[in-house]
Amino acid sequence: MQPSKWEKLPFAIGKLKEEGCDVFSGRWVRDEVTRPLYDESDCPYIQPQLTCQEHGRPDRSYQYWRWQPHGCDLPSFNASLMLETLRGKRMMFVGDSLNRGQYVSMICLLHSLIPDEEKSMETFDSLTVFTAKEYNATIEFYWAPFLLESNSDNAVIHRISDRIVRRGSINKHGRKWKGVDIMVFNTYLWWMTGLNMKILQGSFEDEVQDIVELSTEDAYRMAMKSMLRWVRKNMNPKKTRVFFTSMSPSHGKSIDWGGEEGGNCYNQTTLIQDPNYWGSDSRKSIMEVIGDVFGQSKFPITFLNITQLSSYRRDAHTSIYKKQWTPLTSEQLANPVSYADCVHWCMPGLQDTWNELLFTKLFYPY
């Protein structure tokens, strides 16, 4: 993003020392001094499906990695600067459970500066709101796994195998996003149901539903264009910022990284060393759609390109060390690979790095 294209971006306070440095290209460095940025037990907001220590993970090695860009250093995450910037403002994360993880990470990075009686967290259906009262600030999460209206929009009960997304329906959720100052979108995982996606042309209330199938790429393009149209109509580029977090990689097949067949992230405690590693779960064609659509955007969208740097982190998933919502069978217990979660990430951990990158791009975008 060239400064000439978008004059000065809101919230920018300076430039990186090495101007134009690609902060998303780099390597993971072991760091037992400054990592982790907070302790799992010190952040009561982490959902039980992300607290890996509490659920028996024997090692902590995943907590001690710092992202080091090749061309520069990331500025340290400054929680008081972030909170001061949010004074009188709303920050919102909109998307699926991976975006919820990034949202909770942001709260964990900030909450220790706020006295207990000055903060609260409440949930209203699809919306979760963390309030820092003294700052008159909110950090919010809104559940919309496709951004558009879908049959998976219930924030609690959304395990639906036959997913349907309604065309042209962004305002269904978007009316709850109005007035936000810093917006962070993501959507990817829920589109990955196969090669095609079911798209509803009318309303979910119609007696006879008019459903067409589009390729996943075309359906995703439709959603990206809807999102940008909503942003253009409802956000002010002189006062607000919009981020989009790229796809979060999963590590469901160890043959991807040269491991044995039938394995996954279970028992992985080391990083993938190949700098060009790209897992089979991350569709390059979707990345191309994003690049294509954002390239034509009239509104400055800051792209948080976390896919490559996260793809090295087969060690950082929750695996089996999380709250199980249904009791495990004896077959599962005998074969942990069968129920390891290789999608979500332990906290503290990788998603704190995503927020360090968000922090960098918010304040030092050039």
Residue 5 has pLDDT above 60, yes or no: no
Question: Residue 325 belongs to what domain range?
Answer: 26-364
Q: How many residues does the chain have?
A: 366
**Annotation says 341 is catalytic:** yes
356 neighbors 67 (Cβ within 8 angstroms)? yes
10 assigned to some structural domain: no
Q: What percent of the chain has pLDDT over 70?
A: 98
Report yes or no on 1 lying in a domain.
Answer: no
Q: Which residue in the list 153, 181, 256, 341 is annotated as catalytic? A: 341
What pLDDT is recorded for position 349?
Answer: 98
Asked if 39 and 348 touch (Cβ cutoff 8 Å), the reply is: yes
Phi, psi dihedral angles at 210 (to 5 degrees): -95, 100
Lowest mean pLDDT among 8-12, 15-19, 215-219: 15-19
- Could you give the 3-state DSSP secondary structure of residue 168? coil
Q: What is the mean pLDDT of residues 125-153?
A: 97
> Would you say residue 143 lies in a domain?
yes
Per DSSP, the three-state class of 205 is: coil
* Number of independent structural domains in the chain: 1
Asked if pLDDT for residue 58 goes beyond 60, the answer is: yes
Residue 252 above 60 pLDDT? yes
Q: What is the value of pTM for the model shown?
A: 0.96
- Among 97-106, 135-144, 148-157, which is the least confidently predicted range? 148-157
Residue 193 maps to a domain: yes
Query: Is the pLDDT at 3 greater than 50, yes or no?
Result: no
The string of pLDDT tens digits covering residues 71-82 is 999 999 999 999
Q: 170-189: per-residue pLDDT in tens?
A: 999 999 999 999 999 999 99
In a domain, 5, yes or no: no
Is residue 13 in a domain? no
Choosing from 97, 150, 152, 310, the catalytic residue is 97
Say if residue 339's pLDDT is above 80: yes
pLDDT class for 20, splitting at 50, 70, 90?
A: confident
Q: How far is it, in rounded angstroms, from Cα 156 to Cα 173? A: 16
Q: In the annotation, is 344 catalytic?
A: yes
Span of 3-7, 45-49, 257-261 with lowest mean pLDDT: 3-7
Residue 108: the pLDDT is 98
> Could you tell me if residue 14 is inside a domain?
no
CA triple 168-296-242, angle to 5 deg: 70
> Among the options 111, 173, 251, 344, which is catalytic?
344
Beta-strand pair 127-132/182-185: unpaired
Tell me the per-residue pLDDT of 254-295, one tens digit each, with 9 for 90 and over: 999 999 999 999 999 999 999 999 999 999 999 999 999 999
For 23, the enclosing helix (H) or strand (E) is none
Is 316 within a domain?
yes
pLDDT of residue 7: 61
- 60 Cβ contact partners less than 8 Å away, ≥ 6 residues apart: 53
3-state SS string for the chain? CCCCCCCCCCCCCCCCCCCCCCCCCEEEEECCCCCCCCCHHHCCCCCCCCCCCCCCCCCCHHHCEEEEECCCCCCCCCHHHHHHHCCCCEEEEEECHHHHHHHHHHHHHHHHHCCHHHEEEEEECCEEEEEEHHHCEEEEEEECCCCCCECCCCCCCCCCCCCEEECCCHHHHHCCCCCCCEEEECCCHHHCCCCEEEEECCCCCCCCCCEEEEEHHHHHHHHHHHHHHHHHHHCCCCCCEEEEECCCCCCCCHHHHCCCCCCCCCCCCCCCCCCCCCCCCCCHHHHHHHHHHHHCCCCCEEEECCHHHHHCCCCCEEECCCCCCCCCCHHHHHCHHHHCEEEEECCCCHHHHHHHHHHHHHHCCC
Q: Give me 171's structure tokens.
A: 């305002």
Give bridge partners of residue 303 from the DSSP assignment.
244
| Average pLDDT rounded to a whole number, residues 87-102 | 98
Check residue 75 and give its pLDDT: 96
pLDDT of 1: 46
Token pair listed for 228: 């940008």
Q: What is the pLDDT of residue 158?
A: 78
